[in-house]
Amino acid sequence: MITLFTLTIFLGAFLVFLVQPLVARLVLPSLGGSPEVWNTCMLFFQSLLLAGYGYAHVVTTRLRVGRQATVHLAILLLPLVVLPIGAPTWFPTPNPHAPIPWLLGMLLVVVGLPFFAVSTAGPLLQRWFAHTGHRHASDPYFLYAASNVGSLLALLGYPVLFEPRLTQTGQTRLWALLYLAFVLLCWVCAVTAARRARTAGPDQPPTALEMPPAPPGEALASREVQAKRSPPTWRTRARWTLLAFAPSSLMLGATHHMSTDVAAIPLMWILPLSTYLLTFILAFARRSLISPRVASSLLVVLAGVVTGMTIADLRRPIPLVFGAHLALLFAAGLVCHGRLARERPETRYLTEFYLILAVGGALGGVFNSLIAPMAFNWIAEYPIAIVVACWLRERRRPETVKSVVTSFASLSALMLLVVAVASFMRWYRGDASWTMPGWLESSVPSVIPVVAAVLLAARPWRYALAIAILLGASHVEDTRDDHVLWHDRTFFGVLSVKQEDGRLGPERTLVHGTTLHGSQVLAAEFRDTPTTYYHPLGPVGDVMSRRRADHATAHVGVVGLGAGTMAAHARPGESWTFFEIDPSVRSIATNPEFFTFVSDAIAAGTSIDIILGDGRLSLEAQPPETFDLIVLDAFSSDAIPVHLLTREAVALYVERLAPGGVLAVHISNRYLDLAPILAAIAEDLGLSGRIRTDHPGDDEPRDQVRRFASEWVALSASEASILNMPHAESWKPMPAHRPAHLWTDDYSNLLSVLDVGWN
């Protein structure tokens, strides 16, 4: 009996988490790979999970077991009409100004019905198991751990087992076959539960609560057992909602923070989500491996550590920073999910309990994906979730007048210390005659959270307030940075325009998270000189010089606008078209108060058009043989849009090139080696290609604008168009590649080119 229900619940959860990255691959080509896209996908899945749990609650409280089985089997058969899943061709293209409604609508059409069907498995099958008369039927919550094991294995298995070995079509067919097996197992479970039901109606409890033995020192008090047998109060429901909300919001916030403010490493989102699921498994297991007291202590310590790292703006080494954030998420998940597991009600309230958990999880998605981006111009939802998790720790000491006075005195001292340290740091930065070792400068602010942890650890809400003060003070200090001219948060990320004193005078930069997207020297003699990856002496400068030598740059297309630096290569009389997905980036690049590359080129006589939308879809709308040169610059942000680098995509670009035209691809990337991918595509399409890796030395002239190391690939159907370029000795033949490197719209394998150096 246990094997049957465990296997069915396991398979249902496995399907739920296997379909999520699969569907993401189907719909993300239209919106790129920003963290907010994944967070919105998570919001959709959490909301549909809530709908599935709501259905399970209604069915099990209104119908007898036999009728439940009939209704549910009908629900399970409906998705067979739309399987295997696939993106519809009739769905409209996204609106860059309102991407969230489009994404939610697309997800609903693509996977809404199948996902809803499998999302009902957890609570419904646990309730059916409670009717079987099995000796563990009175407390079926251990099956929830099996559910999360299935979710975790699907999550980890997709990039390692399924994506490298199966095409997208093969993945959808495999999911459809597994779904058929799931329907069959559900039918067996339904028949078994209906035959062995021991109650006259669904509104009667199948049995009294029988709790499994608790570990020594953690036995439940009799009044707690009685509370489990009583209907949950509204206060209890509110607490359960918060306990589910905090880890959900923290998981999404940690994902966004690590990929935006630390390092945008591909597939990084798997780590926080796996940690989140692991805490569910440990919390709802039959035996507790980590006691509540240990989990609470870990949360106190790790919240202090992460707060100290935030104050010190510590982002390296990456393994240490990532490890601290993941450990904090793990501790918070154990605290919150552990409390939920210990407060789980009697079986008659099981579906309501899971419904409330789903409400809390969905609220976390709503807060992070919808409310926070509109309410804050920074990733404020992450520190808010940290504070809420610290506040939800169970109180260990009774409140006394002395404790209240001591705590408030400690908080007052802490605030004074924050002000003193901030004042000292500003004084230090303004006085170059006095020096401090770098390690000491970064570690002094980190001592403050340790003081807070020691003084306030036993008082959850006061400790949470202290963490809130520290994180808030750190953000206020960051906003006082005089170098930041403009800062905003969009659906596609956090953007900042900064101005600092460079070696040639004032210099402005556009930063997207941790990635530089262009810079401009403001001095008149250098203002129109391309900088960073687009330097005249770099690979893209070679391509432009070679094309002009052939008098073949009448019309240029550029995918990726950034600060508009490529416009500095434009000449009077030429026609340039930029394709950009983020409306805010277009506003920045065309605002002369920030950058003048675009406005100066237009004033000099260049025709410039900026088209909003996905680069591939926008290019597809252009007539064939339109461009003499296409520059593809969409891969340096590390969260790369894979759909722009498939065989079909490159074939589309080549079709849009005039005879003898050139495709220049910027593949500089900290974590991905994309050269073999382009080499395989070039060979398959019969294109000629060259690659140049530019590494400027330390002896670069001081009177030149900044030139960054970069890697560019030039492809053309005409070999003559890419030969004899300047610095010809630096342009090498395309590298060797494996057959697996041929990416298509139906197959790609990110792990095959992943090279995480953790620098």
Residue 317, preceding peptide bond in cis (omega within 30° of 0): yes
Average model confidence (pLDDT) for the chain?
80
- pLDDT of 600 > 60? The answer is yes
Domains of the chain by start residue, with CATH: 1-198 (1.20.1250.20), 226-394+407-480 (no CATH), 528-753 (3.40.50.150)
The pLDDT of residue 158:
86
- Of 574, 554, 557, the C-alpha closest to 621 is 557
CB-based contact 627:656 (threshold 8 Å): yes
Residue 400 has pLDDT above 90, yes or no: no
Using one digit for the tens of pLDDT, what is the confidence trace for 181-191? 999 999 998 88
Bigger pLDDT: 442 or 463?
463
The residue among 457 and 693 whose pLDDT is bigger is: 693
Report pLDDT digits (tens) over 223-241. Answer: 444 445 577 889 999 999 9
Token digits for 306?
């992460």
Residue 551 or residue 132, greater confidence: 132
Mean pLDDT of 620-624: 91
Rounded to whole angstroms, how far apart are CA atoms 364 and 45?
12
640 φ, ψ (degrees, to nearest 5)? -80, 145
CA 648 to chain centre: 27
For the chain, how many residues are written?
759
pLDDT-derived band of residue 199, with 50, 70 and 90 as boundaries?
very low
Instruction: Order across the sheet with 493-502: list the strands.
Output: 484-490, 493-502, 505-512, 515-521
SS3 state of residue 693: strand
Q: How many CB atoms lie within 10 A of CB 151?
A: 26
Please report which confidence band the pLDDT of residue 194 belongs to, taking 50, 70 and 90 as the band edges: confident
Per-residue confidence (pLDDT) for residue 669, from 0 to 100: 79
Q: What is the pLDDT of residues 63-93, one digit of tens each?
A: 888 888 889 989 999 998 888 887 777 777 7
Q: Whole-angstrom Cα distance, residue 560 to residue 580?
A: 5
Question: What percent of the chain has a predicted confidence (pLDDT) above 70?
Answer: 79
Q: Write down the pTM of the prediction.
A: 0.76
Mean pLDDT of 605-625: 90
8 Å CB contact between 750 and 163 = yes
Q: Cβ–Cβ contacts within 10 Å for residue 61, how many? A: 15
| Residue 745: predicted pLDDT | 83
Question: Does 238 or 289 have the greater pLDDT score?
Answer: 238
